[in-house]
Amino acid sequence: MIKTARAGLACLAAALAFAGVTTAATADVSPRLTATQLVADMGAGWNLGNQLEASTNGIPSETAWGNPVITQALIDRVKASGFKTIRIPVSYLGKIGAGPGYPVDAAWLSRIEQVVRYAYDQGLYVLINMHGDGYKTVAGSWLICDAADQTTIRDKYQKVWQQVATRFAAYNEHLIFESMNENFDGQYGTPTQPCYSNINAYNQIFVDTVRKTGGTNASRWLLVPGWNTNIDYTVGNYGFVLPTDQYRSSSIPAAEQRLMISVHYYDPWDFTGQEDGVITQWGPRATNPAKTSTWGQADYLDGQLKKVHDTFVVRGYPVLVGEYGAIDKTSADSANNTYRADYARTLVAAAKKYGAATAYWDNGYNGQYGFGLFNRSTATVTQQGIIDAIIGAVTGTTPPTTPPTTPGTGACRVTSTVSAWNTGLTNSVTVTNTGTTAVNGWTLSFALPAGQTITSGWSATYTPATGTVTATNASYNGTLAPGASTTIGYQATHTGNAAAPASFTLNGTTCT
């Protein structure tokens, strides 16, 4: 996806890499995994989106779309949250020099390697690709399947991947290459020819080029997409052709594959990505038909994942749902995060059932219409409920899907205790269910006084940091029996006004 913001020894090695010095990566001593073992070992995945694929006027820059510089602390937080795989989209664009050699800027390649090492050195699986170079809407894009001069495009593509693959040839199989991202001709109808044929050609060039660079590249898993990573246009009779893998290591048994299939899943788009706040609910727990899409529900999702299983997994080709997720519409529906979590849980559980791995799309943006699960500036969690749903589905600890219940009017009470100093404050907030029915999953909304900005919080996730804030329950305090209370809190800065927040509502119900 292209979505801009609106979205010890290891340390020494990383520092040297960033300075332009290539260091030896971990030797390939890990056992080679079968397709089934690989998917299980990859666990839950997460996208470092809108960072190394971000660009301005055709020049890649990790801060171009509003995200801060990537840090080790962020990757450590992602790992600590339970994710075992990180997909790192990468654009090259204006960092590629002129032909015939098409040299990739050394500093850019070193920064890519440094970010890879943030995750790789922690034992995580890492995926890198060629992302924005194939989008017509991105300035400087060139990997265009319906462009006239395909000879030049293919030569440039081969030269860039040769350099990238050579750089990482010594990395073990925890590093996976993905040939490209959502490549298509820009129209969302039936795939056209010869455009699809050119996509197939890119995939074949990618596989052949990587394999010929040797080292672990001769045996590592390689990821290839079909038309726009669309499931139907990849599994159906629309022109997708699996690359041959004739140059892979002879040590790989003939019956085993080393190619993976890349698909993305954002159905139904009116729930997952449409920025209008109309469709805010999804799945069997949806309570309002007017807020629920008329298609793309759990049965449809299951059917789509079964298609990739029946087409590829049964033949030994593992599948990665490399992007999925739903944007934050809590500004229109305070219960939206419940359905976002349900969507993620259902997708990941279905993928696990059908032998596919997954990677949630996080664009780094928290707040209205954001996909973010983490605050990248502070390396903190912002959507614990969604993370819990993802990790639970992978580990088999998915909670029961009982319908969410909310107290009636006037069924909640809030007390707020502020301790302030200079330009900072802490606020302890106790929420009590004064209703007669249990609350299973809650969001507490309140108006933060002008000049205050939340910098950290506990026992809930808070978004956004200013204005009207929504606090969403943690995994351990989401149920409030009648008469039960829970205490949450946050730290904030202020510009002179250290007053307590006002206008508290719990799941839309005004609190006293």
d(CA 106, CA 103) in angstroms, rounded, equals 8
Q: 113, 173, 178, 182: which is the annotated catalytic residue? A: 182
% helix, strand, coil for the chain, step of 5: 30, 20, 50
Strands 259-265, 319-324: pairing is parallel
Q: Calculate ∠ Cα 47-52-58, nearest 5°.
A: 135
Strands 85-88, 59-60: pairing is unpaired
Q: 53, 113, 173, 323: which is the annotated catalytic residue? A: 323
> Is 363:370 a contact under the CB 8 Å cutoff?
yes
- Order across the sheet with 468-473: list the strands: 460-463, 468-473, 443-447, 502-506, 509-510
Work out the number of other CB atoms within 10 angstroms of the CB of residue 36. Answer: 12
> Is 186:144 a contact under the CB 8 Å cutoff?
no
> Is 240:204 a contact under the CB 8 Å cutoff?
no
d(CA 458, CA 111) in angstroms, rounded, equals 33
Residues in the chain: 512
Active site residue 275: no
Helix intervals (H) in 354-462: 384-395
d(CA 314, CA 185) in angstroms, rounded, equals 30
> Is 474:442 a contact under the CB 8 Å cutoff?
no
Find tokens 């606020």 and name the residue.
Answer: 427
Active site residue 62: no
d(CA 387, CA 183) in angstroms, rounded, equals 29
Hey, which residues are catalytic here?
182, 323
